[in-house]
Amino acid sequence: MDFSAECAPCLLRRILFQTRLVDPCKEENVMSSCLRLVAEEWRPGINSAALATKVHRLSYDMLEVSDPYAELKAEANRVAASLLPRAEELVEGSRDRLKTAILVAIAGNVMDFGIGGFESPDELRHTFESLVSQEPEPNDLGRLRELLQGAKEVLYLFDNCGEIVLDIPLLRELKAMGLKVTGVVKGEPIITDATWEDLSLSGADKVLDAGLTTGVFAIGLDLDRAPEALKEAFQRADLIIAKGMANFEALSDTDIKPIAHLLRSKCHPVAKAIGSKKDRNVIRVFERGA
């Protein structure tokens, strides 16, 4: 997905948010440097995730910290863990377990901080059931179900901390369908995304057949720098399930298909690019040639 005019203030708002988490005294230096980098690197057709990765790398280096979101991530995991029993009840009592498990997984995607939405993980406690009850728009569940029925191996790209806990019911449904499921987390801490440590803390690792990392510091996924094991997993998989907006931004310019994007459309540029409206549950499948 191309970096758009609306992406610029959103990206810089997150930079300001994470700078204030670490050291508010540095906000002028960090913001001015990141603003200058955006101006230097922004050109027609640049991928939004690729540019955001460069800006975040500069921000982290200037802040001299490896994980400015560490406390928020830990709290997100705790909040999600407290909601997991209710999420499992909703799936167990559903007439369509797969659909409900997907909606539970999408509900976790709202825990994304510093972009004008949730400011605290605890907010999910009050909105969780409402989010799960909202019909997807667009809704490619029928085609996703067909692809799953014809698949043997699925590559599951995780997104945020907290969210990864609420992916567990969906992972269990995929396993119940007889699928081999490999999960992918970030190779290094970046924003609130789940890493190898978070995969273990969440308990999701116990449901998976295998786990891999992206290997590098990157918003979404940088396939050019991905480890060979991950590239091979992409080749093997019959279907990719990608959680969250950043994975959509990073992969929408590639020919990787079929891919099912499960996310909450939290901004207008992503909503427009994926064929949705803002603030919707999205189940969107892209197939080769689409």
Residue 274 lies in a domain: yes
- Of the candidates 27, 46, 63, which is a domain's last residue? 63
Same domain, residue pair 12 and 75: no
d(CA 102, CA 72): 24
Cβ pair 77, 166 in contact under 8 A: no
Residue 2 lies in a domain: no
Average pLDDT over residues 88-101: 98
Domain total for the chain?
A: 2
d(CA 139, CA 127): 21
Domain range enclosing 157:
70-286
d(CA 250, CA 42): 16
Same domain, residue pair 119 and 45: no
Same domain, residue pair 38 and 174: no
Q: Return the CATH number at 202.
A: 3.40.50.10880
Q: How confident is the model at residue 131 (pLDDT cuts 50, 70, 90)?
A: very high
- The set of residues, in sequence order, having a beta carbon less than 8 Å from that of 128 and lying 6+ positions away, is 83, 86, 87, 107
Q: How confident is the model at residue 241 (pLDDT cuts 50, 70, 90)?
A: very high
Same domain, residue pair 95 and 12: no
Among the residue ranges 105-119, 205-219, 237-251, the one predicted with the least confidence is: 105-119
**Residue among 251, 260, 197, 241 nearest 220 (CA):** 251
| pLDDT recorded at residue 290 | 47
pTM of the model: 0.96
Residue 1 lies in a domain: no
Same domain, residue pair 170 and 248: yes
